[in-house]
């Protein structure tokens, strides 16, 4: 009986904090969902799903011959494809607020030196992802579509399908967005002492090969898109090495900071 009472005493007070954390997590998820819904509603009003698709398709349409248009091979494609784009755009617009909710939930459990590490990584990874997507849309798409159309025979009239184009755009956005996260990966590997800075520097030549292999796999089989992905990856790798040295110097744990409490069982 005494042992049962002692176990109850040990568990006393743990249920309420756990429930409180679940309630806070629920509230923050609700806030994030509301933010996404608000952004989607705003985009539905202006510029609207159809206009969003026109914006997304502009790099391809600009490279098509005069009079050529895109087609929809499915009955519901003219409705579903713009709707998917509107939801995706709403999520991307609300992403900073969503990440802020995640940070607000996690931050109270971190030490000050950990906050100095995690918060810049969250912010910089988000910015780099958006930069990768913007680089793909404003530069890569235009060059790739012009290059592809230059090889099209005169006897063929290009009429790309809107669903196929959406799949292509999303895969390219994801590829370039993740590729631009190379500095974050380098910083985390170095900061966690998984790979030293010297090892990262000596791995330069191998990473160039890796970058071109990745670009050949995830991009269309044309030289323009492969170079447009591989070269920025190599540059970002060097940027990651420089950032890793900076992070290691400024995010070390203070020697007088208390260690995190560990759970121990009473004998």
The pLDDT of residue 251 is: 65
Residue in the structure block whose two tokens are 């997507």:
133
Q: How far is 136 from 173, CA to CA, in rounded Å?
A: 7
Q: How far is 219 from 144, CA to CA, in rounded Å?
A: 10
Q: How far is 64 from 77, CA to CA, in rounded Å?
A: 21
The pLDDT of residue 265 is: 43
Q: How far is 159 from 173, CA to CA, in rounded Å?
A: 22
pTM of the complete model:
0.81
- Averaged over 153-175, what is the pLDDT? 87
pLDDT reading at 264 higher than 50 = no
H/E element, 235: helix 223-250
Q: How far is 95 from 101, CA to CA, in rounded Å?
A: 10
Mean pLDDT of the chain: 84
Q: How far is 24 from 106, CA to CA, in rounded Å?
A: 11
162 burial via Cβ count (<10 Å: 0-12, 13-18, 19+): buried
Q: How far is 56 from 121, CA to CA, in rounded Å?
A: 29
Q: What are 180-237's pLDDT values in tens digits? A: 999 999 998 888 888 889 999 999 999 999 999 999 998 888 888 899 999 999 999 9
pLDDT reading at 239 higher than 90 = yes
Using 50, 70 and 90 to split pLDDT, how confident is the model at 267?
very low
């Amino acid at each position: 009986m005494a042992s049962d009472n002692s176990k109850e005493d040990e568990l006393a007070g743990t249920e309420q904090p756990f429930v409180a954390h679940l309630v806070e997590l629920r509230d923050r998820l609700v806030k994030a969902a509301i933010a996404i819904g608000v952004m989607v509603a705003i985009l539905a009003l202006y510029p609207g799903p159809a206009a969003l698709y026109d914006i997304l398709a502009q790099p391809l349409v600009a490279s098509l011959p005069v009079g050529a248009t895109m087609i929809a091979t499915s009955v519901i494609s003219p409705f579903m494809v713009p709707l998917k784009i509107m939801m995706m755009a709403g999520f991307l617009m609300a992403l900073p607020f969503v990440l802020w909710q995640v940070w607000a939930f996690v931050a109270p459990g971190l030490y000050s030196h950990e906050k100095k590490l995690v918060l810049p990584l969250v912010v910089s990874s988000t910015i780099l992802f958006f930069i990768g997507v913007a680089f793909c849309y404003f530069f890569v798409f235009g060059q790739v579509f012009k290059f592809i159309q230059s090889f099209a025979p005169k006897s063929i009239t290009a009429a790309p399908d809107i669903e196929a184009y959406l799949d292509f755009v999303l895969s390219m956005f994801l590829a370039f967005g993740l590729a631009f996260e190379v500095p974050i990966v380098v910083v985390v590997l170095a900061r966690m002492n998984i790979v030293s800075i010297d090892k990262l520097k000596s791995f330069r030549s191998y990473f160039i090969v890796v970058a071109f292999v990745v670009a050949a796999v995830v991009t269309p089989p044309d030289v323009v898109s492969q170079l447009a992905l591989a070269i920025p990856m190599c540059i970002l790798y060097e940027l990651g090495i420089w950032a890793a040295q900076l992070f290691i110097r400024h995010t070390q744990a203070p020697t007088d900071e208390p260690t995190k409490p560990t759970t121990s069982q009473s004998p």
